[in-house]
Amino acid sequence: MKKPLVAIVGKPNVGKSTFFNKIAGSKISIVEDIPGVTRDRIFANAEWCGYQFQIVDTGGIDFHKEDEINKRIIEQANLAIDLADVIILFVDGKEGLTHHDLEVANHLRRAKAPKVLAVNKLDNYELEKTYEFYELGLGEPIAISAEQSKGLGDLLDEVVKYLKKSEKQTEDDSVKIALVGKPNAGKSSITNRLLGEDRVVVSSVAGTTRDAIDSPFRWNNKDYCLIDTAGLRKKAKIEPDSIERYSVIRSLNAIERADVCVLVIDASAGITEQDIKIAGLIHEQGKPSVIVVNKWDLIEKDEKSKKDFEKQFEIDLAFMKYYVTLYVSCETGQRIGQIMEKVDYVLANAKREIPMALFNNIITNAISVTEPPAKNGKKLKIIFGKQVATCPPTFSIYCNNSSLVENSYIRYLENSLRRAFDFKGTPIKVQFKNKNED
């Protein structure tokens, strides 16, 4: 289920980021932060009164600066505005109405999404200072102080009026496959190849986001649904790097809904920073995945071609060494048929269940080789463990004092499990708990 997007916009220095940080990190019913998206963390998941949504902070809009950085800030803000389901315009109540506010408000009129007007920096809730902002023509101004956390509930109440309340998903047993990646990596071509086979085509229906198409189909007598995030470039004039920065909004929606993610990489462009970011999103969401290197026909190949790619993957994807790769060409059809086989393979590994006795044998053997760490004369003692979840496989290990656990030892035990069982293509989680914890 797609989460609506709420975009925060306004001129520079109106307190947008302060508001975002309050929402993303405070006690206002936040579901989670989304780490690893950008260095300045501009995305977060939030919930207010039963409404779940994504919130995105944009750079300050100033139409009078013509430097390259400012142009890209405006381009990024425009893309967020185009994608938004609700737009919050921030203005400075202390400074009062300015021609910059009027320019931003006029710019927002082209957007179809409803707008909510927040008058910030009114620490003493001076309602009389909101009246002049009616001139913007965006409805009733809402007095807030992001710094003092005043009026935020009133603002969020107004925002969620335009959102649909989160509902329980209807039962759907199909395996959802998210095709994610940079623009022009070949996601749509792979979708068409997979859906174009006689045994596969069933239907194509509009998806739950403006940028994704959900395509149900059957393969080997099982139900699947492809979530294609093609069409990332809405405007040809927008700089590629600014678009790709915001393409994570679409990718994240698809990743959250998916059972398996297929990250499509353009072989002719090599492994880029954006590819690594999207791989990081998949890893952080705990999804099994297949990395499909497309356009393999465009590479001048010798005996080292694939090895060179794999060496680069080892470096760039050191945080997810469990990755599974497949080298394909949509143009020639080379190995396209293996994509679904890989999808089934990594999903089976994500659903793998390890009997408790066997799991404890593996842990006991690992402990005998490398003893648990000790701190200040106190030694970590492992009592027993068990698997508590799948997708991703999650294991709880009960001990005398979980504060003694070091990340390096957790990684050691994870590697021991991977050597004992096939968990290729899926993250696994090992968590330590005190013996009396549930």
More confident residue, 3 or 88: 88
Specify the amino acid at residue 150: K
> What predicted TM-score, i.e. pTM, was given to this entire model?
0.62
Percent of the chain with pLDDT over 90: 51
Neighbours of 298 (CB within 10 A): 13
Q: 224, 5, 265, 19: which is closest to 120 by C-alpha?
A: 19
Local confidence band at 39 (pLDDT 50, 70, 90 cut-offs): very low
Q: Residue 76: pLDDT above 90?
A: no
Angle CA 170–257–225, to nearest 5? 75
> Do 142 and 158 touch, CB atoms closer than 8 A?
yes
Q: Residue 316: pLDDT above 90?
A: yes
Q: Which helix (H) or strand (E) holds 192?
A: helix 187-196
Helix axes 187-196, 338-350, angle to 10 degrees: 100
Residues 377-386, buried b or exposed e (16+ Cβ, 10 A)? eeebebeebe
Residues in the chain: 438
Specify the amino acid at residue 129: K
Pairing relation of β-strands 394-399 and 429-434? parallel
Query: What pLDDT sits at residue 283?
Result: 94
Indicate the DSSP class of residue 297. Answer: G
Local confidence band at 249 (pLDDT 50, 70, 90 cut-offs): low
Ranges 185-199, 319-333, 371-385: which has the least confidence = 185-199
Mean pLDDT of all residues belonging to the chain: 83
Query: What pLDDT sits at residue 166?
Result: 58
More confident residue, 186 or 326: 326
More confident residue, 79 or 280: 280
DSSP-assigned states of every residue in 416-435: HHHHHS--TTS--EEEEEET
Angle CA 416–418–422, to nearest 5? 145
Q: Which residue's structure tokens are 């679409």?
A: 250
> Do 122 and 15 touch, CB atoms closer than 8 A?
no
Local confidence band at 122 (pLDDT 50, 70, 90 cut-offs): very high
Pairing relation of β-strands 43-48 and 51-57? antiparallel
Across 152-166, average pLDDT: 89
Local confidence band at 261 (pLDDT 50, 70, 90 cut-offs): very high
For residue 210, what are the CA distances in angstroms to 85, 87, 239, 345? 10, 16, 21, 30
Query: What pLDDT sits at residue 251?
Result: 64
Query: What pLDDT sits at residue 207?
Result: 30
More confident residue, 209 or 193: 193
Local confidence band at 204 (pLDDT 50, 70, 90 cut-offs): very low
Cβ neighbours of residue 99 under 8 Å, at least 6 residues apart?
Answer: none
Can you read off the two tokens belonging to residue 180?
Answer: 């994610």
Query: What pLDDT sits at residue 381?
Result: 92
For residue 173, what are the CA distances in angstroms to 216, 218, 224, 289? 11, 12, 8, 19
Local confidence band at 172 (pLDDT 50, 70, 90 cut-offs): low
Q: How far is CA 125 from the centre of its chain?
A: 36
More confident residue, 51 or 68: 51
Q: 318, 308, 327, 262: which is closest to 289 by C-alpha?
A: 262
Across 382-393, average pLDDT: 95
Burial class (CB in 10 A: 0-12, 13-18, 19+), 265: buried
**Structural domains in the chain, sorted by start:** 5-160 (3.40.50.300), 175-350 (3.40.50.300), 356-434 (3.30.300.20)
> Do 308 and 315 touch, CB atoms closer than 8 A?
no
Query: What pLDDT sits at residue 305?
Result: 84
More confident residue, 23 or 172: 23
Across 22-34, average pLDDT: 47
pLDDT tens digits along 211-238: 455 677 888 889 898 886 643 333 343 3
Query: What pLDDT sits at residue 110?
Result: 87
Query: What pLDDT sits at residue 11?
Result: 92
Query: What pLDDT sits at residue 438?
Result: 63
Query: What pLDDT sits at residue 200?
Result: 28
Query: What pLDDT sits at residue 29?
Result: 29
Across 116-141, average pLDDT: 94
> Do 122 and 145 touch, CB atoms closer than 8 A?
yes
Q: 405, 360, 396: which is closest to 378 by C-alpha?
A: 405
pLDDT tens digits along 393-425: 999 999 999 999 999 999 999 999 999 999 999
Neighbours of 150 (CB within 10 A): 16
